[in-house]
C-alpha cells in the first residue's frame, strides 16, 4: 500500500541543484583551463573570449539559483530571474538526480522536492487566467480499473459519475468552473492535448515521475502539479485530493473567489 503523505522538503532539491551548479562551475573552469594554451596559440584573444562566455553562462545560472532560493524563502521572485530559474531547473535537474543517486538519496524524494519548488515558484508569479485557458490533465489510473466506460480523451461526455473514482468529481468541477479537463494515457497524449488546447496554464495530476517530466516537457508554459494518492500501489485505482485541486484551480482563475 502506498500513499503520498510525506511532506516534500524543498531544501533537498535546492541543495542538490546548488551542488550541481558548483560542479558545473568547476567543469567549466577545467575546460577553460585545459584549452587555454591551445587557444593562445591560435589567437591571444580567444582565451579571454571563451572566459567571458563561460562567465556569462555561470552568472545567468547563478541568478537562477538566487531566484530559486528567494522563492523558497518566500521573497518576491524578481521578473528578471524567472526565465533563468526555470532554465536552471531544466538544465541541472539530470545532474541533481545523478548526485542524489551517488549520495544515496531516493529519487522519489528528489522529484517530490522538485515539484514543491516548481509549485512555489509558480505561486510566486501570481498567474491568473480565464477558465477557458486552463487545462487540467490526469492519468487514466485515476479511473476505477473495473469501469467499463472509456473516458480517455472525452471524460466530460463518457463519465457516468457513479462515485466509484475521482473522475466524476473532476468532471463536475470542470463543468462548474469551465476549465478544460482531459484524462490521458501517457506523456505523448498529454503533449498532444496541450498542443491541441493551447492553454496558458496546465494543472497536472500524476505521480512524482510523470509530474516531473510533464512540468519540464511543457516549459516554458506555466504548470502546477498535484500528486496523486496511491493506496493500491502505482498506476492502479489511484486517487487525488479534490479539495486541493479545487484550491489550486481557484487560485489560478481570474475573477474566482478563493476558498480558505
pTM: 0.80
Q: Are residues 242 and 182 in the same domain?
A: yes
φ, ψ for residue 106, nearest 5 deg: -60, 130
Residues across the chain: 260
3-state secondary structure (DSSP) of residue 93: helix
- Give which of 123, 145, 124 is closest to 233, Cα–Cα: 145
Q: Are residues 117 and 135 in the same domain?
A: no
1 falls within a domain: no
Residue of higher predicted confidence among 75 and 11: 11
Alpha helices in 198-257 (DSSP H): 208-218, 242-252
Q: Are residues 169 and 243 in the same domain?
A: yes
The angle formed by the CA atoms of residues 241, 242 and 248, to the nearest 5 degrees, is 95
3 falls within a domain: no
Q: Are residues 143 and 194 in the same domain?
A: yes
Q: In total, how many domains does the chain have?
A: 2
106 falls within a domain: yes
> Which residues contact residue 246 at a Cβ distance below 8 angstroms, ignoring those fewer than 6 apart?
173, 259
257 falls within a domain: no
Residue 20 has pLDDT above 60, yes or no: yes
Mean pLDDT of 132-155: 91
> Which residues contact residue 232 at a Cβ distance below 8 angstroms, ignoring those fewer than 6 apart?
1, 2, 238
260 falls within a domain: no
- Give which of 4, 241, 227, 248 is closest to 135, Cα–Cα: 248
Mean pLDDT of 162-184: 94
> Which residues contact residue 257 at a Cβ distance below 8 angstroms, ignoring those fewer than 6 apart?
250
Q: Are residues 120 and 137 in the same domain?
A: no
Least confident of 3-17, 47-61, 156-170, 230-244: 3-17
Q: Are residues 173 and 211 in the same domain?
A: yes
Q: Are residues 38 and 95 in the same domain?
A: yes
Q: Are residues 136 and 117 in the same domain?
A: no
218 falls within a domain: yes
Contact criterion met (CB below 8 Å) for 68 and 17: yes
Place of cell 510525506: 6
Q: Are residues 178 and 106 in the same domain?
A: no
Confidence of residue 81 (pLDDT cuts 50, 70, 90): low
Q: For position 226, which CATH number holds?
A: 3.40.50
Residue of higher predicted confidence among 228 and 70: 228
pLDDT at 9: 73
Point out the domain boundary residue: 63, 98, 124. 124
Point out the domain boundary residue: 67, 90, 124. 124
Q: Are residues 161 and 230 in the same domain?
A: yes
Mean pLDDT of 128-146: 93
- Give which of 111, 92, 78, 71 is closest to 23, Cα–Cα: 92
φ, ψ for residue 53, nearest 5 deg: -65, -45
Q: Give the model confidence (pLDDT) of 182-205 as tens digits.
A: 998 887 888 888 999 999 999 999
Strand blocks (E) in the chain: 134-139, 180-184, 201-206, 223-227
pLDDT at 187: 77
Q: Strands 134-139 and 223-227: what pairing?
A: unpaired
Percentage above 70 pLDDT, the chain: 87
Confidence of residue 4 (pLDDT cuts 50, 70, 90): very low
Point out the domain boundary residue: 99, 124, 149. 124
Q: State the Cα–Cα distance between residues 33 and 51, nearest whole angstrom.
A: 9
pLDDT at 244: 95
Q: Are residues 32 and 78 in the same domain?
A: yes
58 falls within a domain: yes
259 falls within a domain: no
Q: Are residues 78 and 114 in the same domain?
A: yes
Taking CA atoms, 186 is separated from 90, 144, 153, 195, 207, in Å, by 20, 17, 12, 14, 12
Confidence of residue 1 (pLDDT cuts 50, 70, 90): very low
Residue 80 has pLDDT above 60, yes or no: no
Q: Which domain holds residue 72?
A: 10-124
Amino acid at each position: 500500500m502506498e500513499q503520498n503523505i510525506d511532506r516534500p522538503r524543498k531544501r533537498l532539491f535546492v541543495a542538490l541543484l546548488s551542488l550541481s551548479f558548483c560542479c558545473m562551475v568547476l567543469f567549466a573552469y577545467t575546460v577553460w583551463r585545459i584549452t587555454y594554451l591551445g587557444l593562445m596559440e591560435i589567437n591571444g584573444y580567444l582565451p579571454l573570449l571563451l572566459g567571458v562566455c563561460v562567465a556569462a553562462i555561470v552568472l545567468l545560472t547563478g541568478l537562477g539559483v538566487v531566484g530559486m532560493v528567494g522563492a523558497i524563502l518566500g521573497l518576491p521572485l524578481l521578473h528578471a530571474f524567472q526565465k533563468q530559474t526555470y532554465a536552471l531547473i531544466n538544465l541541472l535537474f539530470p545532474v541533481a538526480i545523478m548526485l542524489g543517486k551517488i549520495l544515496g538519496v531516493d529519487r522519489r524524494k528528489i522529484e517530490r522536492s522538485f515539484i514543491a519548488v516548481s509549485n512555489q515558484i509558480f505561486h510566486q508569479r501570481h498567474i491568473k487566467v480565464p477558465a477557458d485557458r486552463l487545462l487540467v490533465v490526469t492519468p487514466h489510473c485515476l479511473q476505477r480499473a473495473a469501469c467499463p466506460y472509456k473516458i480517455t480523451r472525452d471524460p466530460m461526455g463518457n463519465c457516468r459519475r457513479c462515485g466509484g473514482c475521482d473522475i466524476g468529481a473532476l468532471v463536475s468541477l470542470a463543468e462548474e468552473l469551465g476549465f478544460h479537463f482531459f484524462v490521458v494515457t501517457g506523456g505523448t497524449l498529454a503533449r498532444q492535448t496541450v498542443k491541441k488546447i493551447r492553454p496558458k496554464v496546465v494543472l497536472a495530476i500524476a505521480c512524482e515521475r510523470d509530474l516531473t517530466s510533464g512540468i519540464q516537457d511543457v516549459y516554458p508554459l506555466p504548470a502546477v502539479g498535484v500528486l496523486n494518492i496511491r493506496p493500491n500501489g502505482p498506476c492502479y485505482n489511484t486517487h487525488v485530493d479534490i479539495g486541493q485541486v479545487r484550491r489550486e484551480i481557484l487560485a489560478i482563475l481570474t475573477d474566482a473567489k478563493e476558498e480558505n
